[in-house]
């Protein structure tokens, strides 16, 4: 997960890892054996970890496939990227995000061993006049105590 879903993200490696995780989850009953009943919570925890990795990497893959680009916390490797990181000798090129997905929200669902991603428009933040913000504003501007 850290190698493919961390700071540097490569679509091909992510896709390969998703296949590996899907196989691991599907065969977990055959490949992971308990030595005692006390290991059962850890077995469920491991299964949850594999599923979580599968879901997160599937979401990252879908993001890249829908035109997602590099942002502040990660770089998406692109063969024809606009920026070349010299320290990697031409092997790490990326393009900065242009905001093309900033008005969209990705949603992902895990069901029956599969993920399904969908995208929807962001909802506007409602304009509310809360009493707290007014009081806090007045306090910060010394308008409360006369």
- Measured CA to CA, the distance from residue 138 to residue 128 in angstroms comes to 17
Contact 52, 21 (CB under 8 A): no
> Does residue 141 sit within a domain?
no
> Does residue 85 sit within a domain?
yes
- Measured CA to CA, the distance from residue 93 to residue 64 in angstroms comes to 15
> Does residue 144 sit within a domain?
no
Q: Quote the pTM value.
A: 0.82
> Does residue 95 sit within a domain?
yes
**What are 28-81's pLDDT values in tens digits?**
999 989 999 999 999 999 999 999 999 999 999 999 999 999 998 999 999 889
Number of structural domains, the chain?
A: 1
- DSSP calls for 55-90: HHHHHHHHHHHTT--BBTTBEE--TT-SEE-GGGTT
> Does residue 126 sit within a domain?
no
> Does residue 138 sit within a domain?
no
**What are 88-136's pLDDT values in tens digits?**
877 899 999 999 999 999 999 999 999 999 999 999 988 877 788 888 8
> Does residue 135 sit within a domain?
no
Q: Report the pLDDT value the prediction gives residue 144, as an integer from 0 to 100.
A: 78
Supply the range of the domain harboring residue 26: 2-121
Q: Report the pLDDT value the prediction gives residue 56, as an integer from 0 to 100.
A: 98
> Does residue 7 sit within a domain?
yes
Q: Report the pLDDT value the prediction gives residue 123, as an integer from 0 to 100.
A: 94
Handedness of CA 42, 46, 32, 112 (dihedral sign): positive
């Amino acid at each position: 997960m850290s190698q493919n879903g961390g700071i540097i993200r490569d679509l091909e490696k992510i896709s390969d890892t998703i296949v590996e995780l899907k196989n691991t989850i599907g065969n977990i009953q055959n490949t992971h054996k308990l030595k005692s009943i006390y290991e059962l919570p850890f077995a469920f925890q491991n299964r949850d970890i594999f599923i979580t990795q599968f879901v997160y990497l599937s979401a990252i893959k879908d993001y890249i496939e829908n035109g997602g680009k590099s942002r502040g916390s990660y770089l998406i490797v692109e063969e024809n990227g606009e920026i070349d990181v010299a320290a990697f000798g031409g092997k790490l090129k990326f393009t900065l995000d242009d905001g093309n997905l900033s008005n969209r929200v990705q949603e992902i669902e895990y069901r029956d061993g599969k993920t399904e991603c969908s995208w929807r428009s962001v909802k506007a933040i409602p304009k509310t006049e809360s009493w707290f913000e007014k009081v806090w504003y007045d306090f910060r501007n010394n308008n409360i105590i006369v």
